[in-house]
Structure 1
C-alpha cells in the first residue's frame, strides 16, 4: 500500500520509495516521500476484525494540526524510520467484519471525529487517525460516516474536521438572526468553513485577514466587511477601521477564532455585553519555533470577561450530528466548500507547498491516489 510520509535519511530496505521531495516547514528542512509498504491482513471472521472495516483511501488532505505533528515527529525521527501524515480522507470500504451491519463493501466514507465521546465503549473519541494518507486502514465503524454520491471525492477528502468543528462552534454560539459575527484568520481552513456555514444564518459576518487580495472571494461568500490586519500591531483591528465599525454597530455579538493565542487578547474587548467567543485551536503548536504573544494580559482579559458577562467557549471538533448536518447542507447547496487544488503521483512538493506556503491559496489542498 502507499503512504505519504516525512522520512529519515536512510529508510528501511523493506520500504519502497515511489517519489520524494525536499520541503520546508517553519524553516526546518524535511524530506517527504511517497512510500510503498506491505499490505494489511484483514480477516472478517477473526476476533480482532469482526467488528471492524477495512477501507481504501481515495484521497486525503492535511490541516494546520498536521504541521505541528510533522515537526514534532521529525525532531525525533530515526534515520531508518518515517512518519505517515494526514488528518482527513475519503475512502471506499473494501472489507467488513462479520459483525458489522451499518457499512457495506463499496460504501464511500469519511472520518467521524465525534468528541468527547465516540459513542462506543473502548473506542477513542476525536480524530480517527493522524496517518490518513495510509492507503489502507482498519477502523471501527463508529469512526466513519457514509457519504452520499452527490459529494465528490475531492470535497469529501477535506470535509470532516472543518465541517464538524465549525458546525459545533456555531451550535454552541446560539446565534440569532442579525447578529454581528467576527471571524478571525479568514483564509485559514477552519475560518473558511465557518464563513461558508454562516451564510444560511442571516447574520452579518466580518472577517480579518492579513491579505486584502482575497477580499472579493470573501464578499462572494456573503461577508459584509473584510478587515486587513497586521498581526504585529498592538491592536488587531486598525483604529481607523474600528472607529468606522463602531459607528455602525456597538460591537460583535460573537467571535469565531481558530487561533486563540493570536487573537483572544486583541479581540475580547470588541464583544458587546453578553457576547460569545469560541475557539478551537492555537497557532503555536510546535514549541521548536519562535512565537511572541501580543495582546492583553490574562488579568485584563478576564476583567473584561467578567464586567461584560462574556462567554469564552472552547470547542474540540463536534458531534456526529454536526457532521451529518454539514453533509446534508452541502448536498442541498447551502454549504459551499472551497478547494484550492488537487495533486497526485509525484507532485509531493506542489501538495506541500500549496498546503502550507502558497500565499495565493484559498481553500483546501487535496492529494488523490490514482
Structure 2
C-alpha cells in the first residue's frame, strides 16, 4: 500500500526502494515528503464492526489550505523517525463492502461526504471522513461516502468534495436574487474559484478581490465583472481613485463571500449595502505560530464591526462545509455542464515533491493540484 506522506528527517534511513523521501521548503520550513510503502489493509466484510464499512482504493487526491497546519505540525513537532499521511479530498474505487452495506457496490467511484455538523449515524462523526486521504487504501463507514457519476473525471472528483460542498452551502444560505452584486475575496484561492464558477448560474454581478492581477483574464472569462486589486499591508487597501470609481459604478455590495475572515472582515463590512449578507467559511491564520511568523490583523475593531452590522442591518453568517444535498447539487451541476472546476495540474509516480511545490509554493498556480496513483 502506497502513502504520500510528510516524513521526519530520519525516515529516509529506514526505507528502501520503491519508497523514497525528497525535501522541499515551505514558508522557510524544510519539509520532507515522500512515497512510503506499507502493508496492505486487511478487510473482512463478515465481522460485525465492518457491517456498514467500505474499503476504498484511492485513485487520486488533492490538498487544501487547511492541510498546511497538519503539514507544519508534522514537520516541526513529530518524531524524526515517523511519517504522517495528510490530505482531505480524494476519489477512489470501492474494492470491498461490509455485509450490510446497501449504498455502494464494488467498482463504484466515490468521494468523501463531509456532511456537517453530524453524520446522521450515532458514533460516526460529521465533517471530513479523513485527514489522511493520501493513503492508497482506507476503510470508511458508508455514510461518509458519496458516488460520483462517470461524467466526472477522476482529477475533478479528487477536488470537488470540500470546495463543492462548502460553496453550495454558502450560496444556499445567502438566498441570492438575480442581479445582486456579490463580492468574492481572495479570487485565486480554491474556495473562491469554486464560488465564482457556482455563482454564474444565479445570474448575479460578480466582483472579486486579489493581491495580484496575474489571472485577470482567466477570472473575467469565468464571469468576474471586475477584479479589484488590494494591498493587504496598506491602510487604504484600495487606491482612492479606484475605490471612487467602483462606488460610482455599482454602489454597495449585496453579499460578500470570504474564505479568510481574519484578513478581510475588518475592511469589507462597510462596503455592504443595508441589509447585506457577509458569509465566511475559514480563516488565514492557521499555522503562523508554528513557523514563527506573526499575523497582523488590519481593519475595524470588533466593536466597530458590530456597530456597522447593527446600523446597516447586516447579517454575518458562518459556514462550515455543508450538507449532503449541497455536495449532490455540486456534483449534478458539474455533470450537467453548469459548473466548471479549475484544475491546475496533475502529478503521479515519483513527482511527490513537485506535487507539494505546485500545491503550496507556485505563484502561478491557478486551480487545484492533483496527485494520481499510477
TM-score, structure 1 normalization: 0.98
Deviation at 1:250, TM superposition (A): 2.3
* CA contact 1:16–1:37 (8 Å) conserved in 2: no
CA root-mean-square deviation: 1.2
- Summarize the alignment of residues 57-72 of structure 1 with structure 2, pairs less than 5 Å apart: 57-72=58-73
Aligned residue for 1:321, secondary structure, equals: helix
Q: Cα distance, 1:8 vs. partner? A: 0.9
- Alignment partner, residue 4 of structure 1: 4
Asked if the contact 1:340–1:362 (Cα under 8 Å) also holds between the matched residues in 2, the reply is yes
- Counterpart of 1:141 in structure 2 is 142
- State the alpha-carbon separation in 2 of the partners of residues 54 and 187 from structure 1: 35
Confirm or deny that 1:343 pairs with 2:347: yes
Contact 2:344–2:365 (Cα < 8 Å) also in 1: yes
Which residue matches 1:101?
102
Alpha-carbon offset, residue 70 of structure 1 = 1.0
Question: Does the 8 A contact of 1:185 with 1:209 survive in 2?
Answer: yes
Post-superposition Cα deviations, 1:246-302, rounded to whole Å, max 9, x if no partner, equal: 112220000000000110001000000011000000001012232111111111111
Report the Cα offset of residue 235 of structure 1. 3.4
The match for 2:227 is 226
**What residue ranges of structure 2 are gaps of 5+ in the alignment?**
none
In 1, Cα distance between equivalents of 2:272 and 2:236: 14
Q: Is 2:328 aligned against 1:324?
A: yes
Give the total of aligned pairs: 370
- Report if the CA contact (8 A) 1:43-1:50 is conserved: no
Counterpart in 1 of 2:123?
122
Q: Are the equivalent residues in 2 in contact too, given 1:236–1:263 (CA < 8 A)?
A: no
Q: CA 1:15 to 1:147, structure 2 compared with 1: closer, same or farther past 3 Å?
A: farther
**Cα offset for 1:9?**
2.1
Matched-pair contact (CA < 8 Å) for 1:25–1:67: no
- Counterpart CA distance in 2 for 1:184 and 1:133 is 29
Match of 1:184 in 2: 185
State the Cα distance separating 1:237 from its structure 2 match: 3.1
CA contact (8 A) 1:235 1:266 kept: no
Provide structure 1 residue ranges, at least 5 long, that are not aligned to the other structure: none
Deviation of the 1:24 alpha carbon? 1.7
Partners of 1:176 and 1:266 lie apart in 2 by 25
Q: Does residue 113 in structure 1 map to residue 114 in structure 2?
A: yes
8 Å CA contact 2:19–2:34 kept in 1: the answer is yes
Match of 2:304?
300
1:35-55 Cα distance to aligned partner (Å, 9 max, x none) = 001111100000121210000
**What SS does structure 1 have at the residue aligned with 2:19?**
strand
Task: Work out whether residues 23 and 30 of structure 1, in 8 Å CA contact, stay in contact via their aligned partners in 2.
Answer: yes
Q: Report the Cα offset of residue 13 of structure 1.
A: 4.0
Return the alpha-carbon distance in structure 2 between the equivalents of residues 160 and 312 of structure 1.
25
Mapped partners of 2:236, 2:156: distance in 1: 36
User: In the aligned structure 2, how far is the partner of 1:215 from the partner of 1:80?
Assistant: 45
CA contact (8 A) 2:34 2:353 kept: no
Instruction: Report if the CA contact (8 A) 2:180-2:205 is conserved.
Output: yes
| 2:212 equivalent to 1:211 | yes
Query: How far apart are the structure 1 equivalents of 2:163 and 2:49?
Result: 31
Q: What is the alpha-carbon distance in structure 2 between the residues aligned to residue 296 and residue 72 of structure 1?
A: 31
